[in-house]
Copies of this chain bind each other. A is one copy, B any other.
């Protein structure tokens, strides 16, 4: 029925690993989830993951899809594109430097390219190959989630830097001596604009305002999440709306700083908080334009990812895999 080719996309997260088979049009044919293990044995994990990928490949054959496997792409925290290793990832149980790419090779035919990079680079590849960034040579992808990640495309190439670790814009300082960051630094964009940064902003506002009537007043720090804040804002809760305004203010500064560096054609935002749409985008755009050098004003759009959020990580990783095909 369908003899076109197949790429595997894998997204290794702190808790879950999502993986799937993606056709050359960017459609996910099969996908699955497994727990990212806490046992620290990467060998065992990759063996199980590969086994399950092979099962998916058999399943789509039974469904009548006979396209060959052409590439494997993996997004993972602290993944080094150059070395193919995950290096000292604080949120994974694998310690030290783990040569994931080399360890995956034995499970697949020798001629299949395997690539691993941080998840925000995978997101950039997905947007580039299948989303709103198609045809662009200069664009920026910001991923807003537990942290803030970024993937940068310059002169038609993803920026990996001299050591494979470029594009950590979530750790740019936007408030000198500001909030403590998980990385040990302070004032980093991620401490203000990640989902947990938004929680911190909500608590800051709850602590400062006389706000017991806010819909957010009944949640503990553990209970609160960006979805609750978003829902409260949509219902018109002033404090929740203010959280988005402040988040947008800080995000606008971060994006403007990125533009000073790279002058991209467009900026793409991806992740949970972007589901709030104009609640986040409008204050972001306002702050962004205000912080820009006039040269750059009113010509760089801030767009939300056009990929389906549930599949984007898999699609992006698969797209990254395809980019390695000679």
Inter-chain contacts of A170 with B (CB < 8 A) = 260
A188 → chain B, closest Cβ, in Å? Answer: 8
Question: Which of A105-113, A231-239, A293-301 forms contacts with chain B?
Answer: A293-301
Is A137 engaged at the interface, CB distance under 8 Å to the other chain?
A: yes
Is A180 in the interface zone, CB < 8 Å from B? no
Which B residues lie within 8 Å of A207 (CB)?
Answer: none
Q: Which of A130-144 contact B (CB under 8 A)?
A: 136-138
How many Å lie between the Cα of A256 and that of B188 in the bound state? 11
| Alpha-carbon gap, A263 to B158, bound state (A) | 13
Are A295 and B161 interface neighbours, CB within 8 A? no
In the complex, A257 has a CB within 8 A of chain B: yes
Task: Determine if A1 is an interface residue (Cβ-Cβ < 8 Å).
Answer: no
Q: Is the Cβ of A152 less than 8 Å from the Cβ of B261? A: yes
Main secondary structure of the interface of A (DSSP, over half): loop
Is B260 in contact with A169, judged by CB distance below 8 angstroms? yes
B258 A261 Cβ-Cβ under 8 A: yes
Q: Is the CB of B176 within 8 A of A175?
A: yes
A24 in contact (CB, < 8 A): no
A263–B294 CB distance below 8 A: no
Query: Chain B residues with Cβ under 8 A from A256's Cβ?
Result: 172-173
**B291→A168 contact, CB < 8 A:** no
For residue A295, which residues in chain B have a CB less than 8 angstroms away from its CB?
A: 78, 87-88, 163, 165, 168
Copies of the chain in the assembly = 2
Residues of B with C-beta under 8 A to A88: 295
Which residues of chain B come closer than 8 Å to A257, judged between CB atoms?
172-173, 257
Mark each residue of chain A from 70 to 103: 1 if its CB lies under 8 Å from any CB of chain B, else 0: 0000000010000000011000000000000000
Q: Chain A 240-256 against B: per-residue CB contact (8 Å), 1 yes, 0 no?
A: 00000000001001001
User: Are B171 and A174 interface neighbours, CB within 8 A?
Assistant: no
Please indicate the chain B residues that have their CB under 8 angstroms from the CB of A176 in the complex: 174-175, 250, 253
Given the contacts A173-B253, A261-B258, A159 and B155 also touching, CB distance less than 8 Å: yes
Instruction: Write 14 A-B pairs (CB below 8 A) sorted by A numbering.
Output: A138-B166, A154-B154, A154-B157, A155-B159, A162-B263, A162-B265, A166-B263, A167-B263, A168-B263, A169-B260, A173-B174, A173-B291, A185-B291, A258-B261
16 extra A-B contacts, CB within 8 A, seeds A168-B295, A169-B261, A172-B261? A136-B162, A138-B166, A154-B157, A155-B155, A161-B262, A162-B264, A163-B263, A164-B263, A165-B263, A167-B263, A168-B293, A170-B260, A176-B253, A185-B290, A185-B292, A185-B293
- In the A-B complex, list the 7 residue pairs whose CB atoms are closest, starting with the nearest: A161-B263, A166-B263, A162-B265, A138-B162, A172-B257, A171-B293, A172-B260
